[in-house]
Amino acid sequence: MQTTTFTLKAGPGARAIIERNGLTPATIGAIGAAAGGPKWLIQGRLDRAIFAEWLREVPAAIPAIGSSIGAFRLACAAQADATAAYERFEAAYLAQTYSARPDAAEITREGRKLIAAILADGGADAVLSSPRLAVNFVVARLKGLTTADSRAAQMLGYGLAFFAHVARPRGLAGHVERYVFSASGEPALSIGADHFHTSWLPLSSANIAEAILASGTLPLIMERIVAIDGAPAGHYVDGGIIDYQMDLAHTDAAKVLFIPHYESRIVPRWFDKSLKWKKPRHTDRMVVLSPSPALIDKLPGKGIPNRKDFKHYAGDDTARLAAWRAAIDASERMAEEFRALVAAGKLEGAVQPL
């Protein structure tokens, strides 16, 4: 079955599972939410259909792991009234305004406003006690020159980290450590079965806001987070450096890893965006739902929103918001088609090879 607004692609193992059991909430063993900044706007309305409707009733809380904007999305998705949380997040995101040359402090303040909107109206407690999603937020703890006070030293540190990553698979692990703040208080999926030192810490009302902020703290652009309750002192930044688009394994061989995504490509690490030969390793039981090329071609500039929009539309917030709202409208069309397929019991018929 050909869908018009989105593609639904699955690895070989996932397709076999879907052929046996269908694609239902009971088929989902874990959920991944990728980093990507404003790109999330193409997903927001679809997220509401997925998390507030399709996954509203599940047998047990599904492990869900996200970094950067993916952590922000999951903090909405896990709430009892996920629709209201997404509405607050979307409104706050569209309300962002910056000076002509914003510094790290200004951008960090705007990030805190977004999190305050997401966690308003008892949102923090709703995330922590969610019966539907057991959230896990990925944060990177810096090592070496990236912890320096000097911006020049930090830039050198990130440059060394990049070349170390290019040179050998374990190279990046010498520059960052993975910290996962978990609502379940225990490891989820098989994350950590790689070269990175990984620590699992309980997510709590005392650290949820800082954990989400740290997960989305852009290196060299925002202020590094230096204090998170329950975590050792250090310099914490965007978890997407390590887990950019959730190339993760999970342990339940009878279920799939579901990634509602803004593109069909899965990029393992942030540095891999420009390294086309870096391929994901865990696609066998992965299902990726993303906007169709036809839908994207109809957007302004034939592309989804991204962080460069702040510079591209500098001084013209009206044009930027018009482009962003076009993506939101497109996401609503994706949501409508998704709902229709679910209602007709035909979702699995839309699955294509990943």
56 part of a folded domain: yes
Cα separation values, 67 from 73, 107, 181, 316, 350, Å: 9, 18, 11, 29, 28
Q: Look at the block and give the residue holding tokens 């996954």.
A: 55
345 part of a folded domain: no
189 within 8 A of 248, measured Cβ to Cβ: yes
Number of domains in the chain: 1
- Within 10 Å of residue 216's Cβ, how many Cβ atoms? 26
349 part of a folded domain: no
Q: What is the pLDDT of residue 209?
A: 98
Q: What is the pLDDT of residue 15?
A: 97
52 within 8 A of 109, measured Cβ to Cβ: no
pLDDT 10s digit of each residue in the chain, 354 long?
778 999 999 999 999 999 999 999 999 999 999 999 999 999 999 999 999 999 999 989 999 999 999 999 999 999 999 999 999 999 999 999 899 899 999 999 999 999 999 999 999 999 999 999 999 999 999 999 999 999 999 999 999 999 999 998 899 999 999 999 999 877 666 676 788 999 999 999 999 999 999 999 999 999 999 999 999 999 999 999 999 999 988 778 899 999 999 999 999 999 988 888 888 889 999 999 999 999 999 999 999 999 999 999 988 899 999 999 999 999 999 999 999 999 999 999 999 999
351 part of a folded domain: no
**188: domain range?**
8-340
242 within 8 A of 140, measured Cβ to Cβ: yes
Residue 152 to residue 157: CA distance in whole angstroms: 9
Its pTM stands at: 0.96
20 part of a folded domain: yes
2 part of a folded domain: no
- Within 10 Å of residue 293's Cβ, how many Cβ atoms? 11
